[in-house]
Amino acid sequence: MDEHLHEEINGLLEQLHQRYEQQEGDLPEQDETADTPDEEQVPPPPKVYVYVLDRPLEEHLAEQEEVVESAAPPEQAADPLTQPPTRSKRKLHVVVVVGCLAVVGVLAGMLASLLLTPPTATITIVPVATPISSTMQVTVVTGTPTRAQHEVQGRLLSSLVMSQESTLPTTGTGYQEVRAAQGMVTFYNAALTEQVIPAGTLLTGTDGVEVVTEQDAAIPAVVYPTLGQASVPAHATVSGPTGNIRAADIYGPCCRVSVSATNSAFSGGQDARMFPMVTQQDLDQAVSTLKAALASSVQAAVQAQVHPGEHVISPVPCTPTITPDHRAGEEAAQVTVTVSESCTAETYDAAAVETLLTQSTTQQATTQLGVGYALTGELETSILHSSIQDAQRGVVTLEVKGAGLWTYQFTNAQLDQMKQVIAGKSKAQATALLLHTPGVRSVSVSLAGTSTLPRDMQALRMVVVYGV
């Protein structure tokens, strides 16, 4: 038999024995002179049978009933109420008693646990939190920094030159009015004296196209064997491409004695027309797109040179060079623009800047809030402005800002003092008292099983929520 089961059975028998002795003590005392009844009339002590069932109780009962029916005479089995209990029924009584006692014991234990558990209260406190920020000037130097002067270590990175080009269709439309052809007319003088051919002189070529001079032509005298000569601009009298005469279309004597003339090829004569044209907006759009693409490339190239713990001074100073193949207003169906960026970046010690900002912001918080507050979370740092003081030496002035949340910090002694103040108070009273406590922003009181806070300090649970 299992040892644990054996111990439980012995304990149960001991309890039943004690109860039997107690019942005997409650019986009335008998007179010693009275006749002693026969031993056969004295009831013997009750016998208790304990059986350990290795199968379900229903199977055992069914088996015992079959045994009783087969052994008993028909007349006795017909009236079970007049027969003494069989051993199988006694086993049923004992098992049922044991089961009832076990259930009663479990229920009694649960009831005692509920009655003995003291009421509890949870008090959640959100302390006062105030955002604090400060700004300061920090100087980045490539030499040895002086912390008292708010200097931090910097490092110049290798210079970068990056280029990209873009070709896009033009969006402008130009209008060209009808034009007359233009060219040059050269006069030759064979006379021994200077001769002047006035502006507006009309000359006709072999193809019948007439041209008119636009300036006076002062022809020097001949110096044999070289004839005197002078060239002046002229234009065709007829607008359009007809005036585009070939060179020497005008050739031979003209105007005066000893004077001859010839012409260069005339050009530019054309009819009115519309044509695609480059606009300034086309150039600006190409430059803007290229600069945005180059900015990403420059940042990637710069970050490849950054060491751990360094931050790049932003924006990175770059010098752009813009080269379009057509200027605004020129005739072109498309334009190609090339943009080059020459950049020199510098890094700074991020931890050193954060340390200076933390000191400055903490001092600001102490001045504004007083003692008892501390930074919750991390201090956020940002560069508001950068100014290059010496590009060759890498001296840069940064205007930096630090911002963080300063929260009141409760000590254990303060929390214990608050427990003493609110112990035994109602929920409304405890809330009002705590809200008037310095450093408390909001309060939530949660009670279990009672409308009043326990007086026991151990039953009061204080929870402080920071960073809200």
Mean pLDDT confidence for 226-245: 96
**How high does pLDDT run on average in the chain?**
82
Whether 448 and 461 have beta carbons less than 8 Å apart is answered as: no
- Between these two residues, 297 and 109, which has the higher pLDDT value? 297
Query: Is pLDDT of 77 > 50?
Result: no
- Between these two residues, 467 and 238, which has the higher pLDDT value? 238
- pLDDT-derived band at 8 (thresholds 50, 70, 90) equals low
- Between these two residues, 66 and 456, which has the higher pLDDT value? 456
Percent share of the chain, pLDDT over 90: 69
Angle (nearest 5°) at CA 391 between 386 and 393: 115
Q: What is the pLDDT of residues 166-196, one digit of tens each?
A: 999 999 999 989 999 999 999 999 999 999 9
Query: Is pLDDT of 113 > 50?
Result: no
**Confidence (pLDDT) at 396:** 95
DSSP strand pairing (129-141 vs 151-156)? parallel
**Confidence (pLDDT) at 44:** 54
Residue 262 has phi, psi (to 5 degrees) of -150, 165
DSSP strand pairing (460-464 vs 202-204)? unpaired
HSE toward the beta carbon, residue 426, CA cutoff 13 A: 2
The DSSP element (H or E) to which 339 belongs, if any, is strand 334-343
**Confidence (pLDDT) at 42:** 47
How far is residue 306's CA from residue 155's CA, in Å, rounded to a whole number? 9
132: helix, strand or coil: strand
Q: Tokens for 441?
A: 């922003």
How far is residue 369's CA from residue 371's CA, in Å, rounded to a whole number? 7
Residues 6+ apart with CB under 8 A from 274: 173, 174, 175, 176
Domain ranges for the chain, please list them.
45-117, 118-156+346-468, 158-171+276-344, 178-271
- pLDDT-derived band at 3 (thresholds 50, 70, 90) equals low
Q: What is the pLDDT of residues 95-112, one digit of tens each?
A: 434 443 444 444 444 444
pTM: 0.52
Cα torsion angle, 412, 417, 423, 427, sign: negative
**Confidence (pLDDT) at 102:** 46
Q: How far is CA 234 from the centre of its chain?
A: 73
How far is residue 157's CA from residue 437's CA, in Å, rounded to a whole number? 55
How far is residue 218's CA from residue 190's CA, in Å, rounded to a whole number? 13
Q: Tokens for 201?
A: 């002189």
Q: What is the pLDDT of residues 327-352, one digit of tens each?
A: 999 999 999 999 999 999 999 999 99
